[in-house]
Amino acid sequence: MSVDVNVPTVGESITEVTIGQWNKSDGDFVEVDEVLCELESDKATFELTAETSGILKIIAQEGDTIAVGEKICEIEPKEGESTGSENTASESTSGEAVSTGEIEEMKVPAVGESITEVTIASWTKQEGEYVEEEEIICEIESDKATFELAAEKSGILQIVAQEGETLNIGDLICKIEVTTGGGPSESTSSKTEVKKETASTSNSGNGQYSEGHPSPAASKILAEKGISPTEVKGTGVGGRITKEDAGKAQKTAPKSAPAENNAPVSSDPRNSRREKMTSLRKTISKRLVSVKNETAMLTTFNEVDMKPIMDIRKKYKEPFKDKHGVGLGFMSFFTKACCMALQEWPAVNAQIDGDELVYNDFCDVSIAVSAPKGLVVPVIRNAEAMSFDEIEGEIIRLATKARENKLTIPEMTGGTFTITNGGVFGSMLSTPIINAPQSAILGMHNIVQRPVAIDGQVEIRPMMYVALSYDHRIIDGRESVSFLVRVKQLLEDPIRLMLSV
């Protein structure tokens, strides 16, 4: 008795598929689990395997679009062969995944007290793919950090929210069709991999599976649009052009031929593109505007002769690194100087909370770091009690995590004062914006050789402008100017930092 092979359910929102390519011909003998053909949906490409061994009878042809559940082909078992049901039963008891009928809904978890929405950054697993419990299936980003989402159960993944989609806390992200017995057994997995590799090799050899080659369905769509496959970038297996790629493809405007007699060729430079703002960028925008509108922000400036610090670094940089394993940078000097000045002028380290002023006896210094997805400000806790090497080590640790988008919420909240260094990008002077709810921020700038008066003589010195932006509701002019003068004094005479005088 022949076995009917129907279009399987490949995803919650997928109702039809297109036959991409047959790997076997009508009348061929096929083995159980051997890949028969490729099915293309509007989201991905899937492989259809034989449910039993036997003679293949093809019903749906390449390029045909058929609904989920419809018959694709038949397999006539050879005389004496089983239909595969015994096989399936034995395999399911020896490690194959079997659906329990349970659907596990995964929702956006609470990732921080002040975070109300997240964006799906990227899926690490595909629709219809088997996932293990606790396996990472996607990354979600909030306005403060990026988090990894792990599968809550083992089973077949059904993606609900797409990459780039913004969801509220508690919204549905995906579903998992729970299975028992684990994933495919080792022997089955190995056999499948070998078959896939064989199919891939044979296909690439005949040009049907090569990069830039359209599937039958895609080829039909491109032909209707009058688009050459060379104009389309394939996202399928091996760079193959799928039905979805063809549907999105737009005909490229022909390039104008070069004018005769070497006349200049005009090209239109007025191109523009749109990108959706990330949650992080939207929140940064809102907070910066809010600070400008809700604080009485003012900026005071001074300049620092960096020669004493540069001389110390030149003399002790290598011994410092050999002993502590970290470089001796400028940031540790500025952090130490700011901590001493903050303890002398506590209003600069304070913040407003309703009708009260909150003064802090500790210095949690936020360090502004330019990360791939935007500006972040991780915090060095109790910086006033740290040594130079401890500060440098903590800066390296936090900056590395920031650039890898691995900072946690606790590492980014609770700072009392911020230091930002625009000088690394070449900024000579700026008015930094306060990092609310803090009341002040110090801006460092580039070091420039300038003529200055030293003891009545003009000398060329490495000078840096420093800026202190502060909330005038908390900090008076006397306190802000005195704070910055104290920072200047400590930096120009670094021995004071060592002796705390």
472 is known as an active-site residue: yes
Kindly report whether the peptide bond that precedes residue 269 is cis, defined as omega within 30 degrees of 0: no
Contact in structure between 92 and 100 (CB atoms under 8 Å): no
Q: Report how far residue 207's alpha carbon sits from residue 140's, in angstroms, rounded to the nearest whole number.
A: 38
Which two tokens mark 471?
């909330």
* Catalytic annotation, pick one of 4, 26, 311, 476: 476
187: Cβ contacts below 8 Å, ≥ 6 apart: none
Does the annotation mark 389 as catalytic?
A: no
Spell out the residues 6+ positions from residue 333 whose beta carbon is closer than 8 angstroms to its own. 309, 388, 491, 494, 497
Among candidates 287, 281, 289, which has minimal Cα distance to 436? 287
Taking a C-beta distance cutoff of 8 angstroms, is the pair 297, 469 a contact? yes
- The SS3 assignment for 472 reads coil
* Structure token digits, residue 16: 């039809």
User: Is 349:383 a contact under the CB 8 Å cutoff?
Assistant: no
The answer to whether 236 touches 45, Cβ cutoff 8 Å, is yes
Helix, strand or coil, per DSSP, at residue 23: coil
**Distance between CA atoms of 277 and 480, rounded to whole angstroms?**
36
Active site residue: 26, 311, 361, 472, which one? 472
Q: What is the DSSP string of 49-82?
A: E-SSSEEEEE-SPTT-EEETT-EEEEEEPPTT--
Burial classification of residue 41, based on how many CB atoms lie within 10 Å of its CB (0-12 exposed, 13-18 middle, 19 or more buried): buried
**CA triplet 297, 300, 303: central angle to 5 degrees?**
150
Contact indicator for 111, 92 with CB cutoff of 8 Å: no
CB 178 within 8 A of CB 102: yes
Catalytic (active-site) positions: 472, 476
